[in-house]
Structure 1
Amino acid sequence: MGIFDRSAKGHITPVIEITIERGALIFFAETIGETNPVHLDTRAARAADHPDILAPATYAVVVGTLAGQKAKRRGQPDILELINGDLRVLLHGAEDYTYHGPLYAGDTVQVENEITGFSDPKGGKLEIAHITTRISHPERGLLVEANRALIHRLS
């Protein structure tokens, strides 16, 4: 039918721990043009009742990427390997995030990915892999849930 390995449905990757480093977080905030001091300065963040620098919402993408890189260094297959993603025809589809709690500098979070399913729109001209990434804190629970679609263009 398609290229994706449908037997990967339901696979959950091993949890990877990532520590959110203050310097990397500040660099990211500056790079995206963030000007709110709670994302750039510890004193400002604490004055606003945060325990440390608050990560911008889009930093969840970085955390997911760092987890994927760490897993790869450990010899674990990445999502593309698990689903048999073919970069010659792979497209990035929709992506949405649900935020349950903030990420802070100094947090050590756990990241896992689940291959939640596959679909075949456009009369089989496309196939889509549906991936859910969860970022959790051991004390504060689930912080971010990201759903994304990876698409193979088949014709």
Structure 2
Amino acid sequence: MAIDPSIVGTELPATTLTVDAGRLRFFAKAIGETNPVYTDLEAAKAAGYADLPAPPTFLFSIELENPDPFAFATAAGVDLRFVLHGEQTFTYHSTAIAGDVLIATPRITDVYSKKGGALEFMVKETAVTRADGSPVADLKTVIVVRNPGAGK
């Protein structure tokens, strides 16, 4: 089943997350980050941060806080058994630190297919800001959906 291109422009529910220092330490450990600036408050302060900074790629995890973080895909008729996370990019505007209240506001920005419809792509762009509206980062996620019915 093809993804309906009319979903392009759809704004998805925003997610709010208060960044917790313990969570940042856990995330840094999970990704194998060894720079103490991400786990040791004194090292972070010595590097000029007011608190622990968010490790690279941490912002991707904000939307996973939703009870059903892939509802946007299933609402578009996507069978999650055939989904692959194809691409992730980050454009940083400032560094998030422990204590920040972040808001992730996603929207679907593109839908397209390749290989005669055997592969479909859904692009989701997410603006991450602080509660005061100051920009933190823009994320771009591309999910790939294998269409097992195509070409048969």
TM-score normalised by the shorter chain: which range applies? 0.7 to 0.9
Read off the aligned partner of 1:61 and give its amino acid letter.
F
| C-alpha displacement of 1:63 | 1.9
RMSD: 2.0
* Structure 1 residue ranges without an equivalent (≥5): none
Q: Which residue of 1 aligns with 2:106?
A: 113
Q: 2:29 matched to 1:36?
A: no
1:82 and 1:99 map into 2 onto residues whose CA distance is 29
Residues 74 and 80, structure 2, Cα contact 8 Å, conserved in 1: no
Asked if 1 retains the 8 angstrom alpha-carbon contact of 2:108 and 2:123, the reply is yes
CA contact (8 A) 2:21 2:52 kept: yes
Q: Name the SS for the 2:89 alignment partner.
A: strand
**Which residue is 2:59 aligned to?**
60
Q: Structure 1 CA distance, aligned partners of 2:70 and 2:119?
A: 24
TM-fit CA distance, 1:81: 2.8
Residues 126, 150 of structure 1: CA spacing in aligned structure 2 closer, same or farther, 3 A cutoff? same
Q: Match of 2:141? A: 148
Describe the shift of the 1:39–1:77 C-alpha distance in structure 2 as closer, same or farther (beyond 3 A): closer
The aligned runs of 1:6-25 (5 Å cut-off) are 6-25=5-24
Instruction: Determine which of 98, 101, 106 is the counterpart of 2:91.
Output: 98
Match of 1:124 among 112, 117, 120: 117
- Distance in 2 between the 1:36 and 1:16 partners? 28
TM-score, normalising length from structure 2?
0.85
Q: SS state of the match for residue 10, structure 1?
A: coil
C-alpha separation between the residues in 1 aligned to 2:136 and 2:130? 7
**Inter-partner Cα distance in structure 2 for 1:151 and 1:36:** 33
Give the corresponding residue for 2:44: 45
Q: Distance in 2 between matches of 1:34 and 1:44?
A: 14
Give, in whole Å, the separation in 2 of the partners of 1:153 and 1:32: 28
Identity of aligned residues (%): 32
Q: Deviations over 1:60-81 (max 9, x none)?
A: 1222322x33xx4xxx983223
